[in-house]
Amino acid sequence: MQSYPAPALARVEEMTAAAAADPARAIAFQGAPGCNGHRAALEYDPGCLPLPCFSFEDALEAVKDGRAARAIIPIENSQHGRVADIHFLLPESGLSIVGEHFMAIHHALMGLADGPFAVAYSHPQALGQSRFYLRTRKIVPMAYADTAGAAAYVAEKGDSQICAIAPRIAADLYGLKVIDENVEDAADNMTRFVVLSREPLDPAVLAGRAAMTTFVFEVKNIPAALYKAMGGFATNGVNMTKLESYQKGASFAATMFYADIIGAPGDPAVDRAMEELAFHCKELRVLGSYPQELVRG
């Protein structure tokens, strides 16, 4: 908690106390109060108690040790790609994905004065999503742990030449002036969040509903292994909406794949496709099946 800027600490303490009193309603998120994770938690479940955590690891740990029933974590952005390290953190957490949420992202430039500004602080994703805006104004981007934390940091520093890129709500929370709104480079900026819990969803919850299943796998080290592993999805008519690779360990000797498919175990076509995938894999781990919030295709 002490890693937050001073203006954010009081709000963090209040929200942490509220979540501790009713952890079944708590949703952990990464960042200071007012960040996009905070917004996503309230959009996903308006009756929840958002629990701020300094890092993604802290948010996942809050669920693992029972301080929160769920965590909401950004996994990818339509403009800036996947969120760094998430593909490593999710499998290692031992938690299950039980939901997803898509949220339109709108950034505001905020500071103590009207500018001009020399430096803008924000999360690397937000800086990347506002790259053109900053470059044309000759504002140097500086990475911070999260968007709202950057706003709190600017308020704490009291320097009129620095600013933050954060959700508009952060300006209200930390007494900053909104200089410009919608500074993201693309109007259709969207982030996908996943919701995690200690236990997977009961399959009965998904009965009759459009569902997604997320899993990671490593194929056997033989020629055409990935091609053969993917064949089962084609022959069984299962739509794979995402397939990404990432390196396992530092040796570059093993490649893991992260995948999303439409459907869930219990569907005969999905079961057949997953069985064929498993035959060609050294490792296969389902991270969760959950209701589909946004229609694919």
Which residues are marked as active site? Answer: 191, 193
DSSP assignment of 15-81: HHHHHHH-GGGEEEEESSTTSHHHHHHHHH-TT-EEEEESSHHHHHHHHHTTS-SEEEEEEEETTTE
Q: Cα angle vertex 179, ends 176, 184, to 5°?
A: 110
The residue behind tokens 């056997």 is 220
**Bridge partners, 29 (sequence order):** 52
- Furthest CA-CA distance within the chain: 61
Q: CA-to-CA distance for 260 and 242, rounded, in angstroms?
A: 5
Q: CA-to-CA distance for 31 and 134, rounded, in angstroms?
A: 22
DSSP class of residue 270 equals: H
Those residues whose C-beta lies under 8 Å from the C-beta of residue 197, and which sit 6 or more positions away, are: 63, 69, 70, 95, 96, 98
